[in-house]
Amino acid sequence: MGLPGCLLYDANILFTLLEGWLHQALTGNIAPSSFFVNAERVHLEAKRIGVPCLASHQSYSALEDRVKRVNDFAADTLRSFVQFLRQEKTVSGQLSPFDSNEDIFLVERFIVEQFRPLGQSKNWEKESLRLLERLIFDAILRATGKRGSTTSTQSVIDQILGTLVDLTRISDGRQTCLVRLQSEVKAPTVFGDPQLFREIKNNVLIGDDEDVGQLSVAIQHQKTANIWTVFVTTDYAHVISVAGDILSKFKLQCSAPLYAIAYLERLSAKGGPVPDPKQYIR
């Protein structure tokens, strides 16, 4: 029998699980990301002991938007690289031959410049760039045949553009993983209360409206369903850093994946099977 409560994932956890499952489907290996390892661990443990895993409609909406953006980002970046390569290899209006010993470093130069403007919160874009870098690198090796060779730059470009087929396969894989996610992580019927949204904004230092909206659903679900709800996130900067304030003012426990089950056990042991209604009096 599971603990008397549930885990409610934010969009970050959903995206982490989706990308990790995608990596497994494409490579047959577990994704090396610690974000995925930790998210998968709590997800499997929750299923093992019968703790429901949920995610709000708001979180799924944010996830679907992120999936669209990551697909578009990869395709747009690949086309930008082709344009960059054309510019670098055009001499007197003609494409000069591609020297695999030297021109392979054009990939590195381009990717470094793409990384430069990305902040700490752009993990999904960084992962997309790493994947794209490998796809471009492999496409160039296929076009040149071996290191030290010289070949037509246009044939290299054609091979790189063929990578768009791989990106389509990856995009389709994401949709398959999204279907799996929706079957394993259901959405509760409650939606965020506008008044509660304003209360969170006024009482907790969270500047991101997406975070506030997801938290409002978690608080509302805990109150409406009358079961302990742990809000699971990897957002240390905006949510976990103020988890104490959220708990003291709204009686909602926020947690990184590794500690989520332990927090649910603590709540169940100290507060009984359901929250005390008096705890909601603020």
Return the pLDDT at 28. 84
Return the pLDDT at 202. 82
DSSP-based three-state secondary structure for 121: coil
Q: Determine contact, residues 192/224, Cβ cutoff 8 Å.
A: no
Return the pLDDT at 281. 37
Query: What does the block give as tokens for 70?
Result: 């990551």
Q: Determine contact, residues 70/21, Cβ cutoff 8 Å.
A: no
Q: What is the pTM of this model?
A: 0.82
Positions of the chain with pLDDT under 70: 1-3, 119-122, 148, 205, 207, 270-282
d(CA 52, CA 160): 44
Return the pLDDT at 276. 58
Return the pLDDT at 214. 92
Q: Which of 234, 170, 182 is nearest to 16 (CA)?
A: 234
d(CA 28, CA 24): 5
H or E element in which residue 184 lies: helix 163-184
